[in-house]
Amino acid sequence: MDTEGFRTHGKEMVDYICQYLESLSSRRVTPSVEPGYLRPLLPDQAPQQPEPWKKIMDDIDNYIMPGVTHWQHPRFHAYFPSGNSYPSILGDMLSDAIGCIGFSWAASPACTELETIVLDWLGKAIGLPDDFLSFAEESKGGGVIQTSASECVLVTMLAARAQAIKKLKQQHPFVEEGMLLSKLMAYCSKEAHSCVEKAAMICFVKLRILEPDDKCSLRGATLRQAMEEDQAMGLIPFFVSTTLGTTSCCSFDNLGEIGPVCQSFPSVWLHVDAAYAGNAFILPELKPLLSGIQYADSFNTNPNKWLLTCFDCSTMWVRDRFRLTSALVVDPLYLQHGYSHSTIDYRHWGVPLSRRFRSLKLWLVMRSYGISGLQNYIRHHCQLAKKFEASVKRDTRFEVCNEVKLGLVCFRLKGNDKLNEKLLSNINASGKLHMVPANVNDKYTIRFCAVAQNATDEDVAYAWTVITEQATELLEAQNM
Ligand code: PLP
């Protein structure tokens, strides 16, 4: 494709995207295809000769779209939102065109500097303590964009592990590193995302998964007891991962209690994973949910979930960037440059070397909407969730199973798990709505999340109509 071709097809693609996003409600939310549907529809090897663009676009319509789950659909209520907006799409487009690989400041100064500045903007809007930001000259903190929340948890655990091993080696210079590693213990709640377990597997450390209270919140006393027991057995607590806004039911660990517990043990790294909920802290009325952040060593949230920014954009801040990078620095000559000692080289802040110009889309989003626009968007989702919760509460056949603080409602039919499994399966099979289940307090519940950017009261009312119709049908069939 030459420049003229790009000009033409690029404009067509913009029209295609607008038409797609504007007409989503006329489609099924989830596709009705079976596994393996695509292979017989496509040739078994790439074309030898170039193909006309029109034919390729036709294949997108005929073969790809029928297999797409429409995450931006107004009736998609599964998981958490997948951030999306026109400014973000345009930002990614420009980033792809620039095509720089910002592993060091010198590799593309604007790529590094904009990331640092935009992370300061967002960190300030969220209300992170100044120590996490890099604008002040003497600050040791700073922010970085990672691919995913899983990567944020992994990277912080790696840093905590390096710090713990370094300290232990000073205390026990003749003990083998493998032996020291076998003593390290990380902690999280049963409600933490499975990425904490994966990070512990990769880091080769033990993880103790703790019981939260009946509101699915990890409490300080539970953590203290576990850490003291482990210490008494010769193990070394080194890392605690907490969650603000858990995946299953959007519960909040008690950071105000957990923080002092971590501080009462030597050198325990406290991480806060707020992949979804962290975005909501830009609202003044929700900032109390962030209380206890003063104890944290690191914090992450995903604008690519709930801040209208396309995947991938997982923002992470650390109080001490030198503790983070000391675990990750490898510095071959071909990556060094004249300003290495006075600038940020983001390759030292994560696992991959290559990194895209991801701050561009976040910058465009923050400027196009302004903080007030982003606040209105999140506030509206929270209001929709409250409306949905009220509908559930009005129908005595149902119960609400979580404290609805943000955009997620967990609910179920009063009855056994099988009944609720069947209800959800019937709803999803109808193609009218899409939701996923979660286990809350050992019960099978259905998650309803406000997801679409421009979701309306009517969308919530429609969802509730579909749910109650399916429930009535199911309960009647059971009583026959
Ligand atoms: N942490 C929490 C609290 C989450 O809700 C999720 C995903 O929903 C993750 C981590 C994993 O996110 P990612 O897909 O960005 O790794």
82 pocket-lining for ligand 1 (C-beta < 6 Å):
no
**Residue 318 phi, psi dihedral angles, 5° rounding:** -125, 150
The ipTM, to two decimals, is: 0.98
Counting ligand 1 atoms within 8 A of each CB, the residue from 302, 314, 451 with the most, and so the one to mutate, is: 302
What is the spatial distance between Cα 478 and Cα 83, in angstroms, rounded to a whole number?
40
C-alpha 174 to ligand 1 mean position (Å)? 40
pTM: 0.95
What is the spatial distance between Cα 53 and Cα 151, in angstroms, rounded to a whole number?
37
149 pocket-lining for ligand 1 (C-beta < 6 Å):
yes
The long-range contacts involving 23-28, CB below 8 angstroms and separated by at least 24 positions, are 24/70, 24/72, 24/73, 24/74, 25/73, 25/74, 25/75, 27/70, 27/73, 28/70, 28/431, 28/432
C-alpha 405 to ligand 1 mean position (Å)? 18
247 pocket-lining for ligand 1 (C-beta < 6 Å):
yes
C-alpha 277 to ligand 1 mean position (Å)? 11
Upper half-sphere CA count for residue 247 (Cβ side, 13 Å): 19
C-alpha 193 to ligand 1 mean position (Å)? 6
298 pocket-lining for ligand 1 (C-beta < 6 Å):
no
Q: Which atom of ligand 1 is nearest to the CA of 151?
A: 16
**Whether the domain at 3-83 and the domain at 100-357 fall into the same CATH topology:** no
C-alpha 30 to ligand 1 mean position (Å)? 22
Residue 33 vs residues 30, 238, 325, 410: alpha-carbon distances, Å: 9, 47, 46, 28
How many CB atoms neighbour CB 29 within 10 A?
A: 22
243 pocket-lining for ligand 1 (C-beta < 6 Å):
yes
Q: What number does CATH give the domain 3-83?
A: 1.20.1340.10
- The domain spans of the chain are 3-83, 100-357
Per-residue pLDDT of the chain (480 residues; tens, 9 = 90+): 999 999 999 999 999 999 999 999 999 999 999 999 999 999 999 999 999 999 999 999 999 999 999 999 999 999 999 999 999 999 999 999 999 999 999 999 999 999 999 999 999 999 999 999 998 778 999 999 999 999 999 999 999 999 999 999 999 999 999 999 999 999 999 999 999 999 999 999 999 999 999 999 999 999 999 999 999 999 999 999 999 999 999 999 999 999 999 999 988 999 999 999 999 999 999 999 999 999 999 999 999 999 999 999 999 999 999 999 988 888 888 888 888 888 999 999 999 999 999 999 999 999 999 999 999 999 999 999 999 999 999 999 999 999 999 999 999 999 999 999 999 999 999 989 999 999 999 999 999 999 999 999 999 999 999 999 999 999 999 887
C-alpha 80 to ligand 1 mean position (Å)? 9
163 pocket-lining for ligand 1 (C-beta < 6 Å):
no
Write out the CATH class of domain 100-357. alpha beta
275 pocket-lining for ligand 1 (C-beta < 6 Å):
yes
Q: Which atom of ligand 1 is nearest to the CA of 277?
A: 3
Counting ligand 1 atoms within 8 A of each CB, the residue from 276, 299, 300, 402 with the most, and so the one to mutate, is: 276
First to last CA, the chain: 63
Q: 398 pairs with which residues across the strands?
A: 413
